[in-house]
Amino acid sequence: MTEIALAVENLSFAYAAKKALDNVGFNVQSGECTILLGPNGAGKSTLFSLITRLYHAREGRIELCGFDIKKQSLQALAKLGVVFQQTTLDPDLSVTQNLRYHAALHGISRKAADKRIQEELERLNMFERRAEKVRQLNGGHKRRVEIARALLHKPSLLLLDEPTVGLDMPSRQAIVEHVHQLVKQQNLAVLWATHLIDEIAADDSLIVLHKGQVKAKGKLAEVLAASGAADAGAVFQQLAQERKP
Ligand code: ADP
Ligand code: MG
């Protein structure tokens, strides 16, 4: 069943005098991977900071599964799993310790947490590595642990902020495939921020963000048809041209 997991309406945000988001609006549906495509500085991480309530938006509205993040923030944030742009694991704790700590923050009992940790790590082929310190893992494996962690409390929406930057090709592909599987198997809604066009699959939805404004949105095929571009690379290039004076 398709539902709106994330609704953003008329959202604007500025850092002092610098406008970072300008009247942004879009929906993210369950069972869909929505790619938030934009070059560096487009406003992707700022948008994530507003959705996670790190920053407060004076203008606009954000709803998670129908819960307003300002008025019903506890219910709204319970629906949300996040993988931030910068790694936020403790390198000196083991994989399991990192995950248990996060589960405890969500009020999950130790027994239930250990069950969920095993399920998610097995899905990501990381269960054998559970006793290792995070410091010993490579970048791709750290990202997998962060994805497992973000899913422990069974959120409806998963936010991923440039999750594959700095990873080698096999690690990138593994993460792209895993997340797409989750979307299909669990009816999860995903919002995936990236500037890498090769991460867009044919049946993904796309939001093109540039200088804080949504320039295009819809299924990849619809965006291509509307822009007259042959592929996602050409859409991105159109943006780059707009940047020239
Ligand atoms: P992206 O994640 O798409 O690269 P960001 O959301 O990080 O973009 O940045 C959007 C704009 O806001 C950029 O122009 C950036 O320089 C500016 N910006 C981001 N964070 C801050 C901050 N803490 N203070 C001032 N300006 C910021
Ligand atoms: Mg960013």
What span, in angstroms and rounded, lies between the C-alpha atoms of 194 and 174?
Answer: 16
Tell me: pLDDT of 33 over 60: yes
Which 8-state DSSP code applies to residue 71? Answer: T
Question: pLDDT tier at 58 (50, 70, 90 boundaries)?
Answer: confident
Half-sphere exposure of 40 (CA within 13 A, CB side): 2
Closest CA relative to residue 207, chosen from 1, 56, 72, 6: 6
Distance between CA atoms of residues 198 and 111, nearest Å: 40
What confidence score (pLDDT) does residue 234 get?
Answer: 82
- pTM of the full predicted structure? 0.93
Please indicate whether residue 46, judged by its CB atom, sits closer than 6 Å to ligand 1.
yes
The confidence score (pLDDT) of residue 233 equals 81
Q: Which residues contact 84 (CB under 8 A, 6 or more apart)?
A: 48, 161
* Ligand 1 closest atom vs CA 38: 3
Q: Is a pLDDT exceeding 70 seen at residue 240? A: no
What is the CA(212)–ligand 2 centre distance, in A? 12
Could you tell me if the CB of 38 is within 6 A of ligand 1?
Answer: yes
For ligand 2, the distance from its centroid to the CA atom of residue 115, given in whole angstroms, is 33
Give me the amino acid identity at 33. Answer: C
Pairing of strands 32-37, 189-194: parallel
Q: Is the CB of 20 under 6 A from ligand 1?
A: yes
DSSP 8-state code for residue 1: -
Q: Which CATH class is domain 4-79+156-243?
A: alpha beta
Could you report the per-residue pLDDT of 67-82, keeping only the tens digit for each?
A: 999 999 999 999 999 9
Q: Which of 85, 192, 101, 220 is nearest to 153 (CA)?
A: 101
Distance of CA 229 to CAs 38, 119, 122, 163, 236, Å?
Answer: 16, 42, 40, 26, 9
Q: At 123, list the tokens.
A: 């899905």
The residue type of 32 is E
40 lines ligand 1 (CB under 6 A): yes
Identify the CA nearest to 78 among candidates 5, 143, 144, 28: 5
Question: Are the C-beta atoms of 159 and 51 separated by less than 8 Å?
Answer: yes
12, 13, 18, 194: residue to mutate for ligand 1 pocket, most atoms within 8 A of CB: 18
Instruction: Judge if the beta carbon of residue 45 lies within 6 A of ligand 1.
Output: yes
The DSSP code for 230 is S
With a 6 Å cutoff on the Cβ, whether 42 touches ligand 1 is yes
**What are the sequence ranges of the domains in the chain?**
4-79+156-243, 90-154
The torsion of the CA quartet 183, 185, 186, 189, rounded to 10 degrees, works out to 10
